[in-house]
Chains A and B, each alone.
Chain A
Amino acid sequence: MASDPKGSQLRRILLIFFSLSIILPLSSPSPTMHNNNWAVLVCTSRFWFNYRHMANTLSLYRTVKRLGIPDERIILMLADDMACNARNNYPAQVFNNENHQLNLYGDNVEVDYRGYEVTVENFLRVLTGRHEASVPRSKRLLSDEGSHILLYMTGHGGNEFLKFQDTEELQSHDLADAVKQMKEKNRFKELLIMVDTCQAATLFSQLQSPGVVAIGSSMKGENSYSHHLDPDVGVSVVDRFTFYTLAFFERLDMYSNASLNSLFTSYDPTLLMSTAYYRTDLYERPLNMVPVTNFFGSVMKTIPTDSAYPGFLVAHASEYATISAETETARVVLEDEADHSKTYDQSEKGLQHILDEWLKLLEGKLGVKDPEVLVAYGLGSMVLLLTISTWLSS
């Protein structure tokens, strides 16, 4: 490498870039705007009588699509086929209201995981991004450190678990671990978890990662109830919590500034027949300052780069000769910053050195002297202290 000065220079530049990427989050607080939005919508219930869970999920799907999240950024998991179910009197249609005004299963639904594919394993794989090599892009959550993710889950649950397909459970620990892993992998900036199940609040008890807000439909020991039954479809078509969430969102459009706080306060326990629970202690921003469209809507930030693929830097190394002065100065700044970090490292190292010396000294002293004497002196001084204190107290 030394024989190739151009290559070594390139290496240095790359190194600086890498160091910058490590320093940046330390030196400056993360920017307030996120880069992109993702939504993971999960219906975990199988069988026809759980129609409402699919309707819940599809309602949310429709809402986030209406508010701007495109299909390729939505992972939709539906555990059963309700729309073309033989029991459905309205083929290829799913309704969440008995007035049948709105067909949720319109002409443009893209289901990413369906049927037997909706398992705890696949769910955790989607969250953590640990897929088999051949899994297509449309089935992956390709979020990054600037993403806001909405995670909506509905199904049957209990104390600290959510049932998948009536056979498996997702436990609150699993969820917390997955979220933690996501955080460590820089897969999200902020995450909103919304769960509509019985005892939904218990599912959040293990969450520890910063940047997570959680809303559950009910507290521990409470059930979440369905809203109403559609006599034509023959089953309940929507759950209460989702129904009132949708009622809130129906008033909004892409440009609305309604805050998360207004969403949270919009739930009326008498209407829900359960107490909606919010966990906000992991979240830094004040809720009344965060628009709901930060999670339910979409932004697409374009990041200008020199080249579409960082690999082109390697391929077109010669282009560096014609780099503009502006980028040159930027690079100098970067180098300065890198130097700064180096000195910081040194000072820290010095401090550690001193501490080590002191410990060594102590160890030596203790080692040399007779421990018996030390103990005796200690006891003596204690007795002395005791007498003095009793004297004073009397």
Chain B
Amino acid sequence: MSLYNFKKIVIVPTAKDFIDIVLSKTQRKTPTVVHKQYKISRIRQFYMRKVKFSQQTFHDKLSTILTDFPKLDDIHPFYADLMNVLYDKDHYKLALGQINIALHLIDNVSKDYVRLLKYGDSLYRCKQLKKAALGRMATIMKRQAQSLQYLEQVRQHLSRLPSIDPNTRTLLICGFPNVGKSSFINKITRADVEVQPYAFTTKSLFVGHTDHRYLRWQVVDTPGILDHPLENRNTIEMQAIAALAHLRAAILYVMDISEQCGHTIEQQVALFESIKPLFANKPLLVVLNKTDVIRLEELKPEQKTLIQGFINDDIPVMEMSTLSEEGVMAVKTEACERLLAHRIEVKIKSKKVEGILNRLHVAVPKPRDGVVRPAFVPENVIKQRLTKEPKPKKKTERDLEVELEDDYSLDLKKNYDLPADFKYDVIPEFWEGKNIADYIDPDIMAKLEELEREEELRIESGVYDKEEEEMDDEEKEIHRLASKIREKKAIIAIESRIGRSGGAPVMPRAGRKRERSVSRLRSEFEELGVDMSNKSGAHFSRTKSRSASRPPIKKARADSTGRVSSSSRVTPRDQSGIRNVELKAKAKKMGHKAQGKMNQFGKAGEADRHIAVKMPRHLYSGKRGIGKTDRR
């Protein structure tokens, strides 16, 4: 797929700027400090890095230039031909070829000097080699100054070419200079092409767009062509020839029958004959312009026969005048229709159509009976159409302006639907914090009254009365309990908040009194009113203590309710989690072993890392070389 956007080409700097850019980039992006007392390998690496970096930067920039510029073989032949006409294909290819050569030369220079740098044995020598390498790369770029300048100019011109799409519907306008091609395109599109009385006002291709049958059409205006052989044509005419040769478009050959362009009709017809080969396979239309000066009927008979010759050749001839605008639209419509028909014909002949046609089916309703049912038009309208009474034209503001000339002033308020004294009043926008526009309504008072009436009715009928819900006993009970629960929760929350405050010392876990016990459960539930005396179906029971051997309890222990019980005791840590006696012995042994080392070094705890003697003599003396000396 070819690229029609030539605006994305990277800017080509001049040779001097190129060198400056790369060298300053090298200076900024690589380390800058090296001393002669560093290791030689470090010095070498430093300078090799600079040489390689410069080479990389040159390489990158040059290769982007080479890839961005379009290859003449890869783009549409219209653009290839246009570029050949404007920039000379050979020169263009040569310039790009020179850049390519410079790229390879720079790569080779870098390779050679990096090889040499490996044998640099002093800072001075490495520095000289790096200077020589960068200098050589810079001279290679200096020699490319001409090519770079040329490519920059090509890039600027290329990005300014009008964006002509060679594949879409196009109308191409050609003819002698000064016949009215640019005026025509100005009339049908919004392209603002310069129109001047001298020949060759249009010096390049211009593009405009127009619409017909809900489709977008491209209209291309060409510079005028003179009648001489192809070799003698200059660049401007060659652009027109390139467009004619490569764009598959409808051709509008414009002729000036009043001969104001400076060429007779015979000359114009002769030009037509000479460029006829370019019109092959394209819908053609001959347009006679400037008919406001002289009409086709008023021409001399010899000239009329020439024009007749066109009609005999099956080439449609149309008249128009761009000055008085008569026939312009007709010409455009005709050209568009012809091109559309031609394109459809070509598409039908191509292979792709088979696939589409098989899927298309135009359904036409079958007539039920022979009765004709035409469109219904009321009789009055038919009568009116027959008499062709022109409708009385309304007087527009423009007509008024023309009439009054200087005295006219635009008064938009004169047609307001208000009584005369209110019409020209100034209306404020806000009042007491509200927008006045929100309240503008002619029957606002009536609406308000109606609303009030409706509201009264509603209140009377009792829409807004609150219902007294009848609750049964169960629901009442649930409500009561729910309120009680809420109360209790609030109390607990407040208590815990109080309990948390203050810096009172906290008893360790083992010392704390037992929180969860059966007695506590009992007391709390009885508070709530549950009957806890019956123990038979209960799921709670006194928990068995988990210690293997229970020593006899000598002290009186009391829990939260003040009752003495023998089971309120937290299992000590060294007994919780141990299943049997063997495991207990093992755990004890492990504990003693770990403790031993800490005791030996006099450690205060696990986190104590202090070493009293860094180098104990007995470990660091002795003749034994191999083997650790913490064992003798």
B partners with A: no
